[in-house]
Structure 1
C-alpha cells in the first residue's frame, strides 16, 4: 500500500498495519499541520468494526457501495475529503436541488433552488400578452448534451441545478409547464439586436425612457437562458453590471459567473470569481462554479473547488455532495462510497436527487438488488420516488431483463385511473415501447390524443417509432404541426431518429429539407440525427462529412454521441486512419478522454489485425486506466506485434 511515498507491507496483521499507517500520518502532520489533511475516508474506515477490517468487508453499511478497492490496496483520496471545521458551526446559505425538476423544493431544508429573482421571473407586473396557442416548449432551442448517452443522468447539468427551471409549482405540488403568456419588449430588443450591438440597443432602450425593473430583467434573462442564448445573456448581464442598472447580490454574481463558464470556459470563470467583491464570494458562487466544473467532467478542478469551499469555511451542502456523486458516477464509481461516508459523518442529509443518483448508478451496473435497497432506504427516510424516478427504475428493470418488475412499476405509475393521472402518460409511452407493447402505447396515447400536450406528442413519436409503427409516428408529427404551426427542431429530430432507426434514408433526407424550409434552427441535435440516419444506412463517410462541415460552418461543438456513432462504425470496419481521426476530433473539440473512446479505437486495430504501439502510454497520459475488457483488447493487439522470425517469414 502506497501513501504519499510511504510503503507499508500488509502481510499478516492487517489491523496492526492500519495503525502503523495512522501513526505515520500523525507524525507527518505534526511536522507540518497545514500541509497534510487526514481524509474522511480514512477516518471512516478507522471506525469500522475489527471484524470488518480483518475480513476485508468494506461494503458501506447502509448504502451498499464498496469503499475504494480492498484493505490491502486502498489509496488516500485527494484533499477533497480533508478535515474541515464542524458544519454545525458554519452559517447556512441554503441548498439547491440538482434535478430535472429544479425549481421545486425537495425538502424543508432546501431553502432556495437557484439564483435570485434575476433569473426567476415573478408573476407580478405582467408585461404584454402573446396571442395564439404557442407553448413555451416550442421556442426552446436545442440542448447540447456533451456526454455519452450512457452517462447522461436524468438531471440537466447546469441550468436546472441553479434553479433555471422551465416549470413552476402549483398549489397542489404538481409541476406544470410554464406557458409563454408574456412578451417583454426588453426581451424583444435583446433578441433582435445583433450580437455585436446588444449593448448599444440596451443603451438606446434606456435613453428612450423605458423602465428597467428587476421583474422585466428577470423575465428577459430567464428566457435567454431557456433558449440557450448564453452569449446574449452574458452580454445582457455584463451590461447590467457595468451600467449599475441593478444592485447585484450574490446570486446575481453567480448568474454572471455561470454564463462566463458556459461561454468562455472554466479558466475565465475562475478569473471572474476574483473580480467579485469579497463580501459576495459565498457558498452560492462556489457551488455554481462547482456545477460547471462537474458538467465538463473536470475531476481535478471539481475537487479543487470543493476543497476551496472547505478552506474558506463555507458550508458543504447536499447540493455540493450531489455534484461529487454525479461526477464520480461518471468517472470513478468507487469514490461514491467516500462521499456517502462524509455525508453521514457530517450529518448532511441526502435529498431525493441523491437517492436518484445512487439508484441510477446501481441500475447502470445492473445491481438491481442494490437499486431496490436504496429505494427502500429512501422510503424509510420519508421520501417517495416521484414519477421520473419510478420511470428510471422501470427503465433499469427493462434493461436488466426483469420485464415483470418493469410492468409492475408501470402499473403503479398509472395509478387507478390513467385519465386522472395524465401527467404519467409522457413517461409511460416510451417505457411501454421499450417493452415492445404496442397495444399499451396505443392505449396510453388514446388518453392524450383528444388534446395532446407537446411533450406527450414528442414521447409518442419516439414510442411509435420504437415499436415499428412509423406511420403512427408520422401522423402524430403532422397533427402536432397543424396544431402548433411552428415547431422547434427537436420535434423534427424525433421523427428523423425514427427514420434513422428504420433505415428510411429517403424520408430522412426529405424531412431534413423540410426543416430547413420551415426555418428550423439546425444545431447539434439535428446533426446527431442526420449522422445516425446516414450511419444506419451504411453511408459512414457521408455522415462523417456532414458532421465536419456542420462543425466548421457553425463553430458549434457537435454532440459526443455523434462522434461516437461514426467512431463505432470505423472501428467495426477496422479503418484505423479514420478511427484515429475521429478520436483526434473528440479531443480537439474539448471532450475528455473516456474508456469508451479507447475501447472503440482499440477495436479498430484489432479488426485491422494491426498492433497498437504505445497504446497503454496514451491511456495513462489521459489518466484512463484499462478495465477488464480493454485489458483483453490490449492483449489481443499485442499478439499482432511482429517478431524477428515473423518478419523473415513475411
Structure 2
C-alpha cells in the first residue's frame, strides 16, 4: 500500500538514492544509479519509475525527473507524452516543448491540455488561447485539467471576468472541479474586487466538500490587503485546522504582516 508520499515502502530506498543525486548533480548520474540498481537484479517497474518522476517533479527536481524518463523510454517503455511535455517545458523552455509536441504523431487530449498549461506557466496567454480555439475546432472534449489551464490563461491575459462563466460551463458539462479550479475562481473574483462573490464561493464549497487550506490563506491575504484583520484571523484559523503539521510552515510567510496589527497569534503558541 502506498504511503503518504505516494510510494510503496519497498520503493523508498531507491528514491532516496536518486533524490540525493538531484541536488547539484552531474547529468547522467540518476540514469547511472538506475542502471546499477538493475544490475543488482532488483525488481523495477515502469509504474515505480513514473511515481519517482512525479515525486521529483513535485519537489522541482525537473531535470532529474526528465533524465529518469529518458532512461525508462530508452529501454522500450511506453511514452508518457503529457508528463514528458511538462518536464521538457520546465527544463528546456517552451520552444523545446512546442517542438516535442508537434513531433508527436498521435496527440492525446491530455497532451493538448498539458501544452495549454505550459503556455500559462510561461505567461503566453495569447498562444494558449489560440491553441484552445484549435482544440474546439477539433472537437476535443475538455476535462478538468483543460478547464483549469484555460482559466489560468484568462487570469494571465488580464481577463478574469471570463473565468466565472468558464467555471459555469464546466459545471454544466458535468466535469468535476478540484482545488485548483476553486482557487482560480476565487482569485478571479478577488482580482475583480468582488470579495463578496469570493466569500460566497468558499461558503458554498464548505457545505459540500472539505476545503483545502490554500483557499483560506488566499482569502486571508485578501483581507490583509484590505486591513480586515478580524476576517483574516478567522480564515487563518480555519487554514490551520485543516493543515498537516508540515504544511503549517507555509502560513508563516504571511504572519509578519499581521503581527503589527496585534490580531494574530502564532499557531504554535495557540496549540501549546
Partner of 1:435: 223
Instruction: Return the match for 2:39 from 229, 235, 242.
Output: 242
**1:425/1:444 contact within 8 Å kept:** no
The CA distance in 2 between the partners of 1:273 and 1:247, in whole Å, is 10
Shift of 1:293: 0.8
Partner of 1:322: 113
Question: Following superposition of structure 1 onto structure 2, how do residues 367-382 of structure 1 map, counting pairs within 5 Å?
Answer: 367-382=159-174
The CA distance in 1 between the partners of 2:125 and 2:242, in whole Å, is 44
* 1:360 matched to 2:152: yes
* TM-score normalized with structure 1 length: 0.34
Shift of 1:257: 7.6
Shift of 1:218: 2.2
Question: Following superposition of structure 1 onto structure 2, how do residues 44-193 of structure 1 map, counting pairs within 5 Å?
Answer: 122=2, 166=5
The CA distance in 2 between the partners of 1:273 and 1:472, in whole Å, is 53
Gaps of 5+ in 2: 24-28
The CA distance in 1 between the partners of 2:260 and 2:34, in whole Å, is 47
Higher relative contact order (CA 8 A, sep 6+): 1
**1:433/1:466 contact within 8 Å kept:** no
**2:160/2:189 contact within 8 Å kept:** yes
Shift of 1:305: 1.7
Question: Following superposition of structure 1 onto structure 2, how do residues 170-319 of structure 1 map, counting pairs within 5 Å?
Answer: 215-221=8-14, 229=20, 231=22, 234=30, 236-249=33-46, 251=47, 262-263=62-63, 272=71, 276-278=74-76, 280=77, 282-284=78-80, 286-296=81-91, 298-310=93-105, 315-319=106-110
The CA distance in 1 between the partners of 2:123 and 2:238, in whole Å, is 41
Partner of 2:207: 415
**1:257/1:269 contact within 8 Å kept:** yes
Partner of 2:266: 475
Distance 1:307 1:458, change over 3 A: same
The CA distance in 2 between the partners of 1:360 and 1:378, in whole Å, is 14
**2:86/2:115 contact within 8 Å kept:** no
Shift of 1:333: 2.3
The CA distance in 2 between the partners of 1:271 and 1:475, in whole Å, is 46
* 1:349 matched to 2:141: yes
Distance 1:398 1:221, change over 3 A: farther
The CA distance in 1 between the partners of 2:210 and 2:223, in whole Å, is 20
- Partner secondary structure for residue 375 of structure 1: helix
Shift of 1:328: 1.7
**1:394/1:409 contact within 8 Å kept:** yes
Shift of 1:352: 0.9
The CA distance in 1 between the partners of 2:68 and 2:42, in whole Å, is 22
- Partner secondary structure for residue 204 of structure 2: helix
Instruction: Return the match for 1:397 from 185, 189, 197.
Output: 189
Per-residue Cα deviation, 1:566-610 (whole angstroms, up to 9, x for no partner) = xxxxxxxxxxxxxxxxxxxxxxxxxxxxxxxxxxxxxxxxxxxxx
Per-residue Cα deviation, 1:389-440 (whole angstroms, up to 9, x for no partner) = 2222212222232223223223323338xxxx66345521341331333222
Per-residue Cα deviation, 1:207-266 (whole angstroms, up to 9, x for no partner) = xxxxxxx944323356678xx5453993653332333312544x456568887x845697
Per-residue Cα deviation, 1:462-502 (whole angstroms, up to 9, x for no partner) = 4544445576656224567x6xxxxxxxxxxxxxxxxxxxx
Per-residue Cα deviation, 1:112-142 (whole angstroms, up to 9, x for no partner) = xxxxxxxxx536xxxxxxxxxxxx7xxxxxx
Distance 1:256 1:447, change over 3 A: closer
- Alignment RMSD (CA, Å): 4.1
The CA distance in 1 between the partners of 2:52 and 2:194, in whole Å, is 46
* TM-score normalized with structure 2 length: 0.71
Distance 1:388 1:440, change over 3 A: farther
The CA distance in 2 between the partners of 1:301 and 1:442, in whole Å, is 45
Partner of 2:26: none
**1:388/1:427 contact within 8 Å kept:** no
Shift of 1:361: 1.6
The CA distance in 2 between the partners of 1:257 and 1:451, in whole Å, is 28
The CA distance in 1 between the partners of 2:9 and 2:247, in whole Å, is 31
- Partner secondary structure for residue 104 of structure 2: helix
Partner of 2:132: 340
**1:356/1:389 contact within 8 Å kept:** yes
Q: How many residues end up aligned between the 2 structures?
A: 258
The CA distance in 2 between the partners of 1:448 and 1:288, in whole Å, is 31
**2:85/2:115 contact within 8 Å kept:** no
